Amino acid sequence: MGYALAEAAVAMGGKVTLVSGPTSLNPPLAADVVVVETTDQMHRAVSKRFRRTDLLIMAAAPADFRPARVAEQKIKKHAAAQNLTLKPTTDILLSLAAKKHSGQLVVGFAVETENGPANARRKLKEKNLDMVVLNDPTETGAGFDHDTNRVTIIRPGRRAEVWPLMAKSEIAYKLLEKLSGML
C-alpha cells in the first residue's frame, strides 16, 4: 500500500518522501526515496523529515521486535542457542504523533488478524492518530503480495468505514482524497 500511496500522492501533485525497506517494487520517479533496513533507521529517517510534513502515512508497527543481540558473523547451526531473545522496537508513530503540530495529520496502517476494529481503535487512541487504516492479510485478495486490498477506515468519534476489495491504487486515491479534505 505504501508504494501505491506514494504513486497516487505524486500524481495528485504532492511532494512525496517514501521511506522504505528493501523491496522489488519500483517507486514513483518524482518521489524522494530513502531506503532503510531497520526500524531504528526508519525512525531516524522519518523523524528527520516529520516537522516539515503535512501528512504522515505509515505502518502502525513496521516491526514490533528486534533481536536483543545482533551477531557479528553467521551463527553456525551447531553453536546456535536454543532461545532467541527479542526486545521491542521504538514505536515510531507513537513518538511522532506526540509531536504533531496543528494542521498536521498522522495516519497509521494497522495489520490485524484478530479483533481488528477493536485493536485499531485502541491504536488510534493510544498513538494519538487522526486515522487508522485497518487491513487483515488473512482475507482473500487482501494485504501483502496482492494488487488488491480490503481496508476499514477508523477515525475518532466516527463509525468505521468498511471498503470493499479493490485495487490498491484505487484505495490510495480514495484515501488521499479523504485525507486532503481533512488537511
* 76 within domain boundaries: no
> Looking at residue 72, what is its pLDDT?
86
Confidence of residue 82 (pLDDT cuts 50, 70, 90): low
With a cut of 70, say whether residue 81 has pLDDT above it.
Answer: no
**Predicted TM-score of the model (pTM):** 0.88
Q: Of the spans 59-73, 76-90, 91-105, which averages the highest pLDDT?
A: 91-105
* 79 within domain boundaries: no
Higher pLDDT, 176 or 74: 176
> Can you tell me whether residue 50 is helix, strand or coil?
helix
* 90 within domain boundaries: yes
Q: What is the pLDDT of residues 38-62, one digit of tens each?
A: 999 999 999 999 999 999 999 877 7
> Looking at residue 121, what is its pLDDT?
95
Q: Distances from the Cα of 22 to the Cαs of 19, 34, 38, 76, 175, in angstroms?
A: 10, 10, 10, 26, 25
- Count of the separate structural domains present in the chain: 1
* 21 within domain boundaries: yes
Range of the domain at 118: 2-66+85-180
The residue-averaged pLDDT of 89-110 equals: 93
* 77 within domain boundaries: no
The residue-averaged pLDDT of 128-138 equals: 93
* 71 within domain boundaries: no
Helices (H), 28-155: 39-50, 92-97, 116-126
The residue-averaged pLDDT of 92-105 equals: 93
* 126 within domain boundaries: yes
Confidence of residue 109 (pLDDT cuts 50, 70, 90): very high
> Which among 182, 119, 132 is positioned nearest to 161, based on CA atoms?
132
Residue 91 sits in a domain whose CATH number is 3.40.50.10300
* 140 within domain boundaries: yes
